[in-house]
Structure 1
Amino acid sequence: MDPASLDTAIAQLPRHRVGFYPTPFHALPNLSHTLGVNLYLKREDLAGPSAISGSKTRLAEFILGRALEEGVTHLITQGAYLTNFGLQLAAACISARITPILVLTRNVPQHGHLGEARGNYLLNQTMGVETHVIDVDGDIWTDLAAGARVADTIARRQSELEAQGRTVTVVGAGGAHPDGFVAHAQTFREMLLQSSDLGVELDFVYHTIGTGTALPGMLAAKLSLGHPVRIRSISINSYDEDSWVNPGTLVDRTRAVLETLGGPVPDDAVIRAELDIDQRFIGESYAVASAASTAAIRELARSEGIFVGPVYTGKGLAGLLDHARSGRLPAGSNVAFLHTGDTGNLFEIPEVVGAIGA
């Protein structure tokens, strides 16, 4: 598929525009000098509509585009109480005059009972978003009882609204929805155009992977265009074959995006061979600070005056820094890091943020 055909295929999809695109793409000269690679930052954290944003805004635009066509009045999603997707979806819903509802969980053994509103939860409260917080005792993705409580809450609220004549759409955690996966094909195209404008041919794209909503679109665009850049994913939760999101999930989502774009769809083995997921930077658990991510947040801030967050982007950046220093990134490589947001969580509890001020 040629670039013009890819752009046309994306432009024809339903979309409610919320963010400010293309997002900036720029060099990090000080950190590049330190690492011996040419490092660039793709600023999805500046997507808008507010100063605290991220890559989920793109997903929301395509999800809402379809929802508006279908007359949806309420949109329900789930996530951790500090969810980035929930925050960004809620903001996008407000702009589209669709009512957002968040069903959130808090891991009490890790984070304690919810007291003072902070971080993303505070921002959701400021917007007046309807939220339902469910205390859980562990990982909701492996605790079947906790998962059932969340599902029951969503189903009950959906039934109540539909009985009132409302039209409701439920979106999976992190924006896992068929209409959203295509969004980051556009992100990939922007990076190629912006790096070309700088006279740079990218060798690697790094990003943080959690619910697996950014990689399918980027990978579909890479395969459609036949671009040689290598995409490396640093995970913040398990990506084993039996995990709740796994390599097979990513292959299926990538294939679906390719079908949406109308280009050729390779064998699953070809897609799977593109996956490069490093699970060494998860730390103790999701949404728990690690020494490596805390150090990465400090290093970028003190090198460039730019902030990444403790739940997602700090751990992804920690992986990139390790790859550069261990030689997995060849010296002189042109490397883009996809800053997917998460800066609101810098104002969370110490167990999430870590000792970044040390």
Structure 2
Amino acid sequence: MDGAELDRLVAKLPRKRIGFYPTPFHRLDNLSATYGVDFFLKREDMAGPGTLSGSKTRLAEFILGQALADGVTHVISQGVYLTNSGMQFAAACRAAGLTPILYLTRDEARHGELTEYRGNLLLNKIMDVEVHYLPTRGGAYWDVAEEQQRVADAMSARKAELEARGHTVLVVPTGGAHPYGFVGHALTFTEMIEQAEASGVRLDYVYHTAGTGTALPGLIAAKLMTGSSVRFRSIAICGYQPGDWMNVDLIVDRVKDILTLLGAEVPADDAIRAEIDVDERFIGEDYAVPSPEGVAAIRELAVSDGVFLGPVYTAKGFAGLLDHVRTGRVEQASKVAFLHTGDTGNLFEIPQVVGDVAG
């Protein structure tokens, strides 16, 4: 099917319009001239509703659309204290007239006790979001089962409190990884392909930063449904091995769920798995810890084309793309789109998160 037919199928689902779509798609002229590769950006960081946004707004439109249909009044979500997802869901809830609540963790051994509001945490404060803080061991609490359970128990207790008062509550997992939202990035894909074609460009690769596995399933589902020849490359900021909290089999299952939801043919698992190419070499020391490659990528893109990446997600993803270009994994004269998923609010975080971006 073509992109228009896919869009019509998605349009049947509950949705609360919050962002400004289609998001921009443009060429990086100076970086392209430097490397002999045509670089393009798909600007999910400009989705809205505020000036600091990202790819989770797509998910929120579908998750909150169903939530409103179900009479939900409060939305509880979770993440690390600097979460992009949490901030974007809070903003989306404000736009939709729902009450956001966040449960956020902080690795105090690495980042210290909370003494000031910065980055996304400051934006949550400005939006007057109800925020609960839990100190944890390690940068990503989801890597430790007992830490995961502690956060889940705290959210469940708050949900029960609110429901006892007559409210209806929806809990959205880390990163917006809720079944209602995965279909959102099928629209990102069709937009991007149509925008490229309108510019006379046929994309060879789409690169993105892979974290909580919420963007890739929709991208793959849309590619399979439309028969596109583009190839995906995912640069991970957390482990994607079998048995990890996030892994390839989970992505396969999410792709199948999207295809089933839209009434499309579901191929064999191996056919979906063949679309997944995850590079874990750019995680760095840990989640939310700056890497030298990521810091260099932030500076290079800002100097070349005046575009800012964020240190936790997008810088590490773009660093992987640049490495693939330099080492020949991306061939000269290729047309490559990078999905800019946001994260710029974290440029204003503490040095232990941002690194020496100022040189």
Which residue does 2:100 correspond to in 1? 100
Which residue does 2:316 correspond to in 1? 315
Residue by residue, what CA displacement relative to the aligned partner does 1:174-215 show, whole Å, maximum 9, x if unpaired?
000000000000000000110001000000000001000000
How is 1:169-248 mapped onto 2 (pairs within 5 angstroms)?
169-248=170-249
Task: Kindly provide the amino acid, as one letter, of the partner of residue 5 in structure 2.
Answer: S
| Structure 2: unaligned runs, 5 residues or longer | none
Which residue does 2:52 correspond to in 1? 52
Tell me the distance in 2 between the aligned counterparts of 1:345 and 1:176: 21
Which residue does 2:338 correspond to in 1? 337
2:134 is aligned with 1:124: no
Q: What is the RMSD of the two structures over their aligned residues, measured on CA atoms?
A: 0.8
Displacement of 1:141 in angstroms is 1.9
Tell me the distance in 2 between the aligned counterparts of 1:198 and 1:11: 25
| Structure 1: unaligned runs, 5 residues or longer | none
Residue by residue, what CA displacement relative to the aligned partner does 1:45-85 show, whole Å, maximum 9, x if unpaired?
10011110000001000000000000000010110000001
Compute the TM-score of the two structures, normalised by the length of structure 2: 0.99
Tell me the distance in 1 between the aligned counterparts of 2:145 and 2:13: 36
SS in structure 2 at match of 1:233: strand
Displacement of 1:341 in angstroms is 0.3
How is 1:1-358 mapped onto 2 (pairs within 5 angstroms)?
1-138=1-138, 139-358=140-359
Tell me the distance in 2 between the aligned counterparts of 1:199 and 1:127: 42
Tell me the distance in 1 between the aligned counterparts of 2:142 and 2:47: 29
Tell me the distance in 2 between the aligned counterparts of 1:116 and 1:125: 11
- Identity score, percent: 61
More deviation, 137-146/345-354 = 137-146
Displacement of 1:144 in angstroms is 2.6
Task: Kindly provide the amino acid, as one letter, of the partner of residue 148 in structure 1.
Answer: Q
Compute the TM-score of the two structures, normalised by the length of structure 1: 0.99
SS in structure 2 at match of 1:141: helix
Displacement of 1:242 in angstroms is 1.0
Residue by residue, what CA displacement relative to the aligned partner does 1:90-141 show, whole Å, maximum 9, x if unpaired?
0010111110100000011221111111000000001000000100122412
Task: Kindly provide the amino acid, as one letter, of the partner of residue 341 in structure 2.
Answer: T
Task: Kindly provide the amino acid, as one letter, of the partner of residue 261 in structure 1.
Answer: L
Displacement of 1:234 in angstroms is 0.3
Displacement of 1:260 in angstroms is 1.4
Task: Kindly provide the amino acid, as one letter, of the partner of residue 220 in structure 1.
Answer: A
More deviation, 294-303/3-12 = 3-12
